[in-house]
Amino acid sequence: MGQGERSAREPPSCWETASHNLSQSKMFMLFTESQQAARNILLLMGRTFFSGVQIIPDLKLRLYPLLIGPTGVGKSQIVKTAANRLGAYYLRICRGDWNVVGSRAGRPTTYQVLDYVATYPRVLLHIDELDKFTDLQSGDWSAAISGNLWSMLDGVHPVAEYLRDVTFTDKPAPTGEELEARIKNLWIVGSGTWQSVYKNSRAGSSIGFGRNSNDEKVGMEAIIASNLISSELLNRFNNDVVFLEYPSLAETRRLLDGSGITKLAKQLGARVEPESIDWTRGGMRSLETVATRLALAYHRRNPASLAKLETPQAAQPAVQHP
């Protein structure tokens, strides 16, 4: 199949993709109050977007949410959960994955997005690490990527060029009008860290991740006032930016109890205190690290728990893929 051809079964190689029937672990469903609020906002905006209901006919609703929060706070998991609940195909792309028209690195990102728009009834495009899109050195490549991004967020897609250059091998090609109609079911959610915002005190006072307070509104006002997030970007998303924080001590205790960590630690004669979880060193991964240590300690003490995985048969050779 040539570069201009595609199949609905062929995902972009560097993207994270998932159908809406995501398998979810118990940990995946544990949300802090901040995460629950963010999930609820996304679900409300997503349902409004996909419904197509226009309450005020003459005004365009701003339904592209923007999530801001530290690494590991659960931004991607929240967006995946929204895609699952809304029955939308999930696509996640970061700045390093972006290809512009004419690039030798691969097909243009704008074309790849249209691949999925042409295939699935609903698509949630998660543009992650937006801070890396806008915190770039000037140059032709960066300018081209930014131009692609702004056009996509403005609802401008290269439909004519895409249909001219792409050959559909598994179904009839859509018409321009059909593809434009399907684009109306492409919902974009943005997220980023903007870590420098939280280390900057130009807004009047220094703010930082990991603070267990209820100053969410003040924090967001400081973020906007810092001018470290470009107005070009903010103006293309809903102004009510969704702000995520690390769990408070009380929320950490609930996460430890709800995940089974507290119970397992007790069985091993140990204790895990909320104060011992350092969210700033990896976010939710810090909790996974504790869970891993406890699981290994359990299996070390109870080797019979892994006995069923052992077999006297000789190991089979690994499958060789062409």
Q: What is the per-residue pLDDT across 48-75, written as a single tens digit (0 to 9) for each?
A: 999 998 888 888 889 999 998 888 888 9
Cα angle 258-261-266, degrees, rounded to a multiple of 5: 120
Cα 206 to Cα 155: distance, rounded to the nearest angstrom: 36
- The H-or-E segment that residue 167 falls in is strand 167-168
Quickly list H helices, the chain. 33-51, 75-86, 109-117, 130-134, 140-153, 159-165, 176-183, 195-198, 216-225, 231-234, 249-259, 261-267, 284-301
Beta bridge partners of 90: 18, 124
**For residues 87 and 13, which has the higher predicted lDDT (pLDDT)?**
87
* pLDDT of 5 above 60: no
Cα 207 to Cα 219: distance, rounded to the nearest angstrom: 7
Question: In the chain, what is the greatest distance between 2 CA atoms, to the nearest angstrom?
Answer: 72
Radius of gyration for the chain, computed over Cα atoms and rounded to the nearest angstrom = 23
Q: What is the pTM of this model?
A: 0.78
* pLDDT of 27 above 70: no
Q: Which two tokens stand for residue 6?
A: 């595609």
Neighbours of 27 (CB within 10 A): 16
Cα 263 to Cα 271: distance, rounded to the nearest angstrom: 9
* pLDDT of 247 above 90: no
CATH of the structural domain 5-194+229-243, one choice from 3.90.79.10, 3.40.50.300, 3.40.30.110, 3.40.50.620: 3.40.50.300
CA separation (Å) from 249 to 216, 276, 294? Answer: 16, 10, 20
* pLDDT of 204 above 60: no
- The H-or-E segment that residue 168 falls in is strand 167-168
